[in-house]
Structure 1
Amino acid sequence: MIKHYEKIAVAIDFSKLSMKAFQRAILVAKDNNASMQLVNVIDTKSFGSVAAYDLEYAERLKEERITKMDELKNEVIAAGVPIVEVTIKEGAPEEILTQLPGVELLICGATGVSNIEKMVIGSVAERIVSLANCDVQLVR
């Protein structure tokens, strides 16, 4: 039996696979007449130590992401998904993405922008699958 989803989230880090996941999420949301949440996580652990963490850099990055995410939101609305929410948070992607309230399906790319990190500590997608309280769809 195929489940009907009411709220779908998609993880966007602007990598090639996350943009492919974005397109898939639009199709799934339309097929399910579901709302859609676009989620971007500014991975602060990649900033290094607290001393090296530049608050101005993080703020500039967040402003850039807001602009890009608003463009994606407009694309989703134009595609026919009427309820679209944008979320931009700082922190660990696997923690934020697995604790999104009300989300029934999370769609994300199988790999993101940090292939070096994947070799060292494992993939974010792998941790999302093991931690999520909802269905997860990985896109290749």
Structure 2
Amino acid sequence: MTNYYKQIAVGVDFSEQSLQALQRAIKVAKQNEAILHIVSVVDTYSFGSVQAYDITYAEQVKEEREKQMEQLKDEAIAAGVTTVHAVVELGSPKVILTNLKDIDLVIISATGLNRFEKMIIGSNAERIVRSAKCDVLVVRG
């Protein structure tokens, strides 16, 4: 079997759906003997201009997620993925996940934690599918 995907990224916001996307990403990474990048984005754009949600709050959320990401990384390695990178970024999920370097496939869930944003301005999944420079796999939960 030819391994088409060498670098796979999966977006995780710790919703049930995104954890299902992670499970799919682990399977695809194993099948392709690919490097898996687990990416969690603290969506600072959803904070809006509310002063209570300043960069200090975002940094606290980032630190908490980094601890959780280590557990996900260990899980992927235990499942048989050889190389796993886990990263937490601050910003917009749709911007960060569509601008990852050297990624062949992005795996995301159809829905996540931010259901309000989906009703108002469209889902992250839709924008990622439209803007990505590589293949995108949308996992439905």
Structure 2 length-normalised TM:
0.94
Q: Deviations over 1:83-108 (max 9, x none)?
A: 11112111111110000011100000
Q: Quick one: which amino acid aligns to residue 68 of structure 2? A: K
- The Cα of 1:113 is off from its aligned counterpart by 0.6
* CA distance, structure 2, for counterparts of residue 126 and residue 91 of structure 1: 17
What are the superposed Cα offsets for residues 35-77 of structure 1, whole Å, 9 maximum, x if unpaired? 1000000000111206343222112111100000000000011
Cα deviation for residue 125 of structure 1 reads: 0.3
Q: Secondary structure at the match of 1:51?
A: coil
RMSD after superposition:
1.3
Q: What corresponds to 1:8 in structure 2?
A: 8
Residue 97 of structure 2 is aligned to residue 97 of structure 1:
yes
CA distance in 2, matches of 1:128, 1:97: 7
Other-structure match for 1:60: 60
Provide the secondary structure at the position in 1 that maps to 2:51: helix
Structure 1 residues 8-44: Cα deviation after superposition (integer angstroms, max 9, x where no partner): 0000001111000000000000000001000000000
Calculate percent identity across the aligned residue pairs: 54
Q: TM-score, normalised by structure 1?
A: 0.95
**In 2, Cα distance between the equivalents of 1:64 and 1:89?**
12
